[in-house]
Amino acid sequence: MSELKRKPLRLGVAGLGTVGVGVVNIVENSGDMLSTRAGQRIVVSAVSARDRGRDRGIDLSAYGWHDNAVDLAGDDSVDLVVELMGGSDGPAYALAKACLAAGKPFVTANKALIATHGKELAALAEASKTALRFEAAVAGGLPVVKALMEGLTANKINELYGILNRTCNYILTRMEREKLAFDDVLSEAQKIGYAEADPTFDIDGIDTAHKTAILAAIAFGIAPDLGNLPTEGIRNIAPVDIDYARELGYRIKLLGVARQTGEGVEVRVHPAMVPLSSPLASVMDATNAVLITGDQVGQTGYEGPGAGQGPTASSVIADVVDVARGICYPPLGVPVNDLKKLPYLGSESHIGTYYIRLRVTDVPGVMAEITQSLAAETVSIESMLQRGHAEGGGVYIVLTTHETTEQSAIAALSHFNALDCVLESPAMLRIETA
């Protein structure tokens, strides 16, 4: 082993929340194992956080402290920076640019940063011939970034589906198992720490959109692009929809979907009904999962904890070890200059099948009005259910469609909203065959 390799790889850790503390703990407690696997001793030399006096349950006195995280980029005692502060801009963005411009390897778990500035940061890393790694930014402890970058590199990726947010999957699981309303489960999720006090980032699909943008970029050789990623969350999922989904042979999941066709790429986030026979249907509670389909390997699946101290810190350390081993490839899988500019297909052009729930007056002639509205947009019915009286009056009519464009399905909803017999805005969910 060379003299250079015998020197330790010294980490600067920016952000000492749950994951940051987890990273420090792994380095402190598993040093011998990491040294053997990395071929180089790995140590923490400096840290940064907003509150120096906070009790984090670990002794940080041996490490240099920076009140300004960006100072880690210029600290000669730091060889590699691990960023765990979060946020697409502000200190995290400034630190990333400073490190990469200086040729200092940068490892992050920050999905918002990579989804928003991934192309720019990748270009900086390539120009300075240094590493930018972000395995922990997507699906916590699941090595899906590495799978796309390395294990599946011989494949043209056709599509991927992801359950990428533990809060949403936990809420949907509890709603189904215990027949609870969305607001009740959300309140409980906040109490046990599965949801933030302001849950918008999770339940409105923003977190999933960041992760989906990253996966789509690596899968298809394009730049991350949040601007072309239609996003819906789970706020409007009602227990009645979960019950009807089960009766029809489906389960509702919040999905990140990315698909490549001859016409371009389709990237979107929304709740969807997946068949009970799908591997995704069995992913319950706070678990994440990703299904990836390649032209050579077919479909592969990855399932496990998508967040938490141990799983996320594990992925961070995996990136650190790769840097120690000298593994340095283009951050987005291909050089920035080779990224493709594929057209994004609008959601309105998506062809699929749909679930539609209507609450209508229980009078003769209603079905004729419904079928006429569908026929006006050339949408045909595959199946239909009507079960008793609905809460609030009237009855529910639930139907699934044959394949149609999303534009036609949405236009049919507009017709429904104009009917006097329809008592509330219709609910619509996409049906995915993942």
Q: What is the pLDDT of residue 53?
A: 81
CA angle in degrees (0–180, nearest 5) for 69-70-72:
75
Q: What is the pLDDT of residue 35?
A: 94
pLDDT at 164 over 70: yes
pLDDT digits (tens, 9 = 90+) for 403-413: 999 999 999 99
| Beta-strand relationship, 132-133 and 264-275 | unpaired
CATH superfamily of 3-137: NAD(P)-binding Rossmann-like Domain (3.40.50.720)
Q: Average pLDDT in the 290-314 region?
A: 95
Q: Crossing angle for the helix pair 166-178 and 182-191, nearest 10 degrees?
A: 130
Residue 124: enclosing H or E segment and its boundaries?
A: helix 111-128
Residue ranges per structural domain of the chain: 3-137, 144-305, 349-431
pLDDT-derived band of residue 195, with 50, 70 and 90 as boundaries?
A: confident
Look up 253 and say whether it is catalytic: no
Is-contact 101 74, C-beta < 8 A?
A: no
SS3 at position 146: helix
**CATH numeric code, 144-305:** 3.30.360.10
Cα 257 to Cα 269: distance, rounded to the nearest angstrom: 6
Q: Average pLDDT in the 80-102 region?
A: 97
Q: Mean pLDDT score of the chain, rounded to an integer?
A: 94
Cα 26 to Cα 170: distance, rounded to the nearest angstrom: 27
Q: What is the pLDDT of residue 6?
A: 66
Q: What is the pLDDT of residue 4?
A: 42
Q: What is the pLDDT of residue 388?
A: 76
Cα 274 to Cα 183: distance, rounded to the nearest angstrom: 23
CATH superfamily of 349-431: ACT domain (3.30.70.260)
Cα 132 to Cα 242: distance, rounded to the nearest angstrom: 41
CA angle in degrees (0–180, nearest 5) for 410-413-414:
95
Per-residue tokens: 21:
């503390």
Residue type at position 125: A
Q: What is the pLDDT of residue 1?
A: 41
Regarding predicted confidence, which is higher, 29 or 306? Answer: 29
SS3 at position 53: coil
Per-residue tokens: 145:
């970034």
pLDDT-derived band of residue 123, with 50, 70 and 90 as boundaries?
A: very high
The CB density around residue 129, as the number of other CB atoms within 10 Å, is: 8
pLDDT at 5 over 60: no
Provide the percentage of residues in the chain whose pLDDT is more than 70. 99
Q: Average pLDDT in the 309-317 region?
A: 95
**pTM, 2 dp:** 0.95
pLDDT digits (tens, 9 = 90+) for 27-79: 999 999 999 999 999 999 999 999 888 889 999 999 999 999 999 999 999 99
Cα 117 to Cα 111: distance, rounded to the nearest angstrom: 10
pLDDT at 218 over 80: yes
Residue type at position 394: G
Q: Would you give the distance in Å from CA 266 to the centre of its chain?
A: 16
Q: What is the pLDDT of residue 3?
A: 43
Cα 302 to Cα 328: distance, rounded to the nearest angstrom: 24
SS3 at position 258: strand
pLDDT-derived band of residue 196, with 50, 70 and 90 as boundaries?
A: confident
pLDDT at 292 over 80: yes
Per-residue tokens: 416:
């429904």
Catalytic residue chosen out of the listed positions 104, 111, 119, 211: 211
pLDDT digits (tens, 9 = 90+) for 326-376: 999 999 999 999 999 999 998 888 899 999 999 999 899 999 999 999 999
pLDDT-derived band of residue 231, with 50, 70 and 90 as boundaries?
A: very high
pLDDT digits (tens, 9 = 90+) for 200-212: 999 999 999 999 9
Q: Would you give the distance in Å from CA 146 to the centre of its chain?
A: 15
Cα distances (Å, whole numbers) of residue 152 to 86, 144, 218, 373, 410: 29, 10, 11, 46, 37
